[in-house]
Amino acid sequence: MAKGDTIRQQWLQLYFLGSAMPSVADNAALSPFVDHVVALHVADPGSGGSQLTHETAYVGYARVLVPRNSAGWTVVGNTVRPTAAIGFGVCTASPGATITHWSISRGGGLIDYTGPVIPPIVMATLVQPVLTTDSLITET
């Protein structure tokens, strides 16, 4: 079942920006998370996977924390994108496979959102993977 346009946008604003969702969620009431954990994958981790599923393992890689606010994310309608490019560590050795997917978590490794990296990032020594502001998530 699809969501209405208003609820999709309010949900994305709650999850990515920490904005209260009227009559549903007050972000300040509990101890909300403050950063999203962004990971890279060499294959689709799937909706039932974790951030460990097909996670890249090149030398120099580490997951990146992105703030849960407008400095980290831009929400327009039912889409969200990084406010600025998200850069990962430079590959210093053992580049491994091409990076094809990215995922977002609140921590603990459980995937909240995942999507393809377009275009895929072909790894090689001295390559720094970057998710651009064209990396989109669409709430349906």
Per-residue pLDDT tens for 6-63?
888 998 998 899 888 877 777 666 678 899 999 999 999 998 899 999 999 999 999 9
Share of the chain above pLDDT 90, in %: 69
How many Cα neighbours within 13 Å face the side chain of 108?
A: 5
Between the alpha carbon of residue 46 and those of residues 42, 51, 61, 94, 107, the distances in Å are 12, 10, 21, 25, 17
Element at 93 (helix H, strand E): none
**pTM of structure:** 0.91
Per-residue pLDDT tens for 100-121?
999 999 988 899 999 899 899 9
